[in-house]
Amino acid sequence: MAKKKVSEEEIVSENEVVTEKETKKKAASKTTAKTAEKSASKTTKKTSKKEAQPVVEEQVEATPEVKVVEPVAEKSAQEAEEVLEYTIAQKLLSLYNLQQIYSKIDRIRIIRGELPEEIQDLEDAHEGMSTRISNYKEDIDNLQAKIKEQEAKIKEAQALIKRYTEQQDNVRNNREYESLTKEIDYQNLEIQVLEKHKNKFAAEITSKQEEIQTFEAKLAEIAEILESKKNELSVIVAETEKEEAELVEQAEALKVKIEPRLLSAFERIRKNARNGLAIVQIERDACGGCFSTIPPQRQLDIRLHKKIIVCEACGRIFIDHQLVESQNESAE
């Protein structure tokens, strides 16, 4: 019995020790949990503070961008307008420079005067005169052939007359004699007609030969004048050929920089214009090409260079005088 009591007391003491250990473990776990929660709360607060700071910085940095948006848009619009104005002005100046080159070429051709046209007329006259002479010679050949034909017919008629005359000596009655006499008279009349035609053809040949001599004299005169005109033109061309070639080369180089549609319109206007001017300035409130009055509002539009404006009367393109002056000043 004593042993059993001892064992029960040991068991109780052991149980108490176990319970104490468990309570200590629970208390330790609670303290570790509290410390973990405290450290976690501290770290979360620190991280939230750190994360909050960049947001504020980003907001601070974003606010100036919002303020700058409107000025950038205004600047881009102004730059677009300036580019548009520049391109229209540049197109007008390109056309104006091309017109100046064409005007110089026209002046060089005016120096030549009407020599090319005169030479062309003389060449046509020379060719026409040569053709007329050759046609007259062909007519003379045809007339000579007709004369030979008439002479052959005359010989045939004379042979018939001779035969009929011989037959008259051997007639048996008056009826045969009279019929032969009529045949002889008819052949004589035929010979007269043939002789008349022959003389007519001979007269035409003589007339044509005289005309040929006159034409040949005129032809020699035309050839002499043509040669002198060609020599005169060759001298003028030799003096201006180099300058004209350079101007033509400049014009071709400038054409490449102009829009094909605008260039074709420019050349069409220049072709239809009497003085060859396709782009003009305003002089005394009027068109420099046809001298039609230009309204003030239209003159203002021309000065703004917002679009290409043409004359309502003649169709010529307008360019502002100040734009041309600014180009000349920059070139100087």
Structural tokens at position 273: 């214009």
CA end-to-end span of the chain: 137
- According to the model, what pLDDT value does residue 74 have? 53
Return d(Cα 284, Cα 31) in angstroms, integer.
103
Please identify which residue in the block is written with the tokens 């051709």: 109
Q: What are the backbone angles phi and psi of residue 311, rounded to the nearest 5°? A: -75, 135
Q: Cβ distance 269 to 286 under 8 Å?
A: no
Is the pTM of the predicted complex or chain greater than 0.85? no
User: What residue ranges define each of the domains in the chain, with the CATH number in brackets?
Assistant: 115-253 (1.10.287.1490), 259-331 (no CATH)
- Give pLDDT tens digits along the chain (332 positions): 434 434 444 444 444 444 455 555 555 555 555 555 554 454 444 444 434 343 333 333 443 444 444 444 455 555 545 444 448 888 888 899 999 999 888 888 887 777 888 889 999 999 999 999 999 999 999 999 999 999 999 999 999 999 988 888 888 888 888 898 999 999 999 999 999 999 999 999 999 999 999 999 999 999 999 999 889 888 888 878 888 888 989 999 888 888 889 899 999 998 888 888 889 998 888 998 888 898 999 889 888 888 889 998 888 999 988 888 888 888 76
The pLDDT value given to residue 152 = 93
The pLDDT value given to residue 140: 93
Query: What does the pLDDT read at residue 325?
Result: 87
What's the pLDDT at 186?
92
User: How much is the pLDDT for 242?
Assistant: 83
Residue 168 · residue 177 · CB < 8 Å: yes
- Polymer length of the chain: 332
| 288-to-97, 231, 292, 315 alpha-carbon distances in Å | 16, 38, 8, 12
